[in-house]
Amino acid sequence: MENHLNWSFDYRSHHVPTVDFYTKFNQMIEEKKPEPGVIHYAIMPNYSFNHFPGICNMDELLLGELRIERRKKADGWSYHVRQKDSSSGEALELSFSCEDNHFRSLKDRFELSASIQSNDLFKSYSLRGQIFRESDRADVKLLHSSGTSFSAGQAPLSQPLISEFTLFDTLPVLAGQGGVQEFALLERLERLYPHQRLGHLQEDILSSGTKKMRIQGYYLHGTGTIPSYWWVDEQQRVVVMTTTLFTYVLRDQEGIKP
């Protein structure tokens, strides 16, 4: 098990020889201490073509950070999400509220903005969204800052409507229920994908030197989305999440416990 990474986030062979994905992965997972009400994830590239080693003035295997701030309120939860990605130059910011249930279902109104490092006319945009719930379906409408409105999609009302960013809090609970209920995912608060499911993948050990962490793996998949893999530790925290192009590594912990 020495230098072991699970296959779902082992991208060592997809980088140039001078880039040590394994070492950087372990540095990220041990680096940062918790901040109350906030969780941080380092964003690492899965493939060498995602970044420009030796060219950009940045850490070659730290493309950016995901910061999720959430607060419990009397009527539910409020979320403020910031994500920065130096490979694309994008800075994404989301604000939304959720019900206080297992899914943390989205409430009716939300906002998002995005910008890129560019002098182009389209270097930034902002949207306001609203969810209209009818007798049998939910319809998500978006209003651009220019005044243009359009639909982000529809989903059966029987499916809880969530943001993928709340899964960093709720996935351990939802997975513990067997992940049998379908839900609708409003990806980046921009595009609605109904008929999503969670499933158990396998158990594994995340090791760093002589220290080990037992983790449970889950997959998220459904109509129109690319599968992602989520790994939960014994403290019920999502410690690793990986997509096709990026791996997200939890930084809010005091190292892997023996």
pLDDT in tens, 24-75: 666 666 555 556 789 999 898 887 655 554 444 335 667 889 999 999 999 9
Identify the pLDDT of residue 20: 66
User: 90: domain range?
Assistant: 7-250
Q: Looking at the predicted structure, is the pLDDT value of residue 224 above 70?
A: yes
- Residue 163 has a CB neighbour count (10 Å cut-off) of 21
Identify the pLDDT of residue 254: 42
**Residue 255 counted as domain residue:** no
Q: Looking at the predicted structure, is the pLDDT value of residue 107 above 60?
A: yes
pTM: 0.83
**Residue 1 counted as domain residue:** no
Q: Is the alpha carbon torsion for 189, 195, 200, 201 positive or negative?
A: negative
Q: Among candidates 7, 70, 76, 18, which has minimal Cα distance to 40?
A: 70
**Residue 211 counted as domain residue:** yes
Mean pLDDT, the chain, whole residue set:
83
**Pairing label, strands 246-250, 38-45:** antiparallel
**Residue 21 counted as domain residue:** yes
**Residue 2 counted as domain residue:** no
> How many independent structural domains does the chain possess?
1
pLDDT tens digits along 158-203: 999 999 999 999 998 887 766 567 999 999 999 999 999 999 888 9
**Residue 177 counted as domain residue:** yes
Token pair listed for 29: 């997972």
